[in-house]
Structure 1
Amino acid sequence: MPSYDFRSELLAVIPNLRAFAISLVGTADKADDLVQETLVRAWDKRDSFTPGTNLKGWLFTILRNEFYSQMRKRKREVSDPEGALAEKLSVHPEQVGRLDMDDFKKAIRTLPDDQREALILVGASGFSYEEAAEICGCAVGTIKSRVSRARSQLSKILKLEGDGEYGPDAVAVGVMNLNSPAA
């Protein structure tokens, strides 16, 4: 029995795939992209093809499935050829926040265990003072005191003087407001 030459059979079907792809997408360049993706997928899955069965039908099924997958993706995409929508999008720079977080992590490690525990339970985990007191096995007033001392200590370590110290700086806020619809 002669050996099956998958590559040769695959190459022979390309004109038929291209014609089918053009009928689906309408333009030759998009059709060529679709055929290329089909051939890549077929080559990757060639071990699952059974020689002697309908290779052309198998390839057409792959092409059709790829076409529908691309159509589903396009439905979720927004057309913005002039870049007007992209121009309005903006985010705060991450690097300052990342550095602030690194400083915060270092500072919180310097707190006494009981203060750090109380601050994390109330400030980060969202427990009430009463719940934190129950978890720690102490009075509610003790938890409030530990949290207060921890916050004061963190403010000193981080050299924070007010609410304006948190979040994006004034320059970043100004730049962000230039791109907002209200500006």
Structure 2
Amino acid sequence: MLQTLPDLRGFARFLTRDPAAADDLVQDTIVRALASQEQFQQGTILKAWLFTIQRNAFYEQTRRRSREQEIMLDIEKDMQPSTAAPSLQNARDAVQDLGELLWKLPDLLREALILVGAQELSYEDAARVCDVPAGTMRARVSRARAQLAELATENTGPLETDTEKNST
């Protein structure tokens, strides 16, 4: 279980968008898992079981508090300007831009993309976490990727050529 803590925290950060709330969610997940460890079925994937517990705990908390909008407001505080090399700053900007685009996706699509892409779960395991068929998970990931590409195109606009830049 200890080996899954970084993955649990990463998924919790995407769910809560708040480091302190993510830590609380991970702690709640572990407590719930330990309390119901007899329900874990041997031969299944522990990581997927823990993600299921974490996801259910998250949605239970948001329903109970009725604060879903507040939880989903910010991805992170703006990064401080860096004095690092321009290429490192550009990489940071690209990651921040991607994070902002991810939060523009509908919740179900973002969740599918995070589970399959960032958390490296198989479609089948991610489908178990979300309690949907594997085909539904594949479709959600596909739609998420397509919408993410569309959002990226909208944010960057049409590409300028070097001659167009120099003529202005």
More RCO (CA 8 Å, sep 6+) = 2
Q: Which has the larger radius of gyration?
A: 1
TM-score (structure 2 length as normaliser): 0.40
